[in-house]
Amino acid sequence: SAVISQKPSRDICQRGTSLTIQCQVDSQVTMMFWYRQQPGQSLTLIATANQGSEATYESGFVIDKFPISRPNLTFSTLTVSNMSPEDSSIYLCSGRSGTNEKLFFGSGTQLSVL
């Protein structure tokens, strides 16, 4: 099983600032995804991080607000830009190895925006 590490694990930020979350996988994965989990809610898919090309965003999420990079098969970043209190959530990175059906998740980044 792949192990996914996220940094930071939590942060408190001021509105209007940006935060970049890093996701490191201990082995190569074919697909990486970013999810958001708002307080008391289920997970919502933000985007699929594509290696070497622009991420594929889900409806309601845009690149200007959530720029994503994926320079190689083991690393991705998600930036939450121009933050507001409504961005306070847990952000989760996940990965899929090969054609395996399993999806692995990091433990998430708890973001609070004041």
Partner 1 sequence: DAKTTQPNSMESNEEEPVHLPCNHSTISGTDYIHWYRQLPSQGPEYVIHGLTSNVNNRMASLAIAEDRKSSTLILHRATLRDAAVYYCILRGLGGSNYKLTFGKGTLLTVNP
Site for partner 1 contains 44 (CB under 8 A): yes
Length in residues, the chain = 114
**108 three-class SS:** coil
- Does position 104 interact with partner 1 (CB under 8 A)? The reply is yes
- For partner 1, give the closer residue by CB, 44 or 81: 44
Site for partner 1 in 51-80 (CB under 8 A): none
Q: Are 26 and 44 in contact (CB under 8 A)?
A: no
The token pair that represents 42 in the structure block: 């289920």
The strand pairing partners of 66, in sequence order, are none
Interface residue with partner 1 among 5, 20, 107, 112 (CB under 8 A) is: 107
Question: How many CB atoms within 10 Å of residue 96?
Answer: 17
- Under rule CB under 8 A, residue 24 binds partner 1: no
Contact residues: partner 1, CB under 8 A: 4, 31, 33, 35, 42-45, 48, 92, 94, 96, 101-108
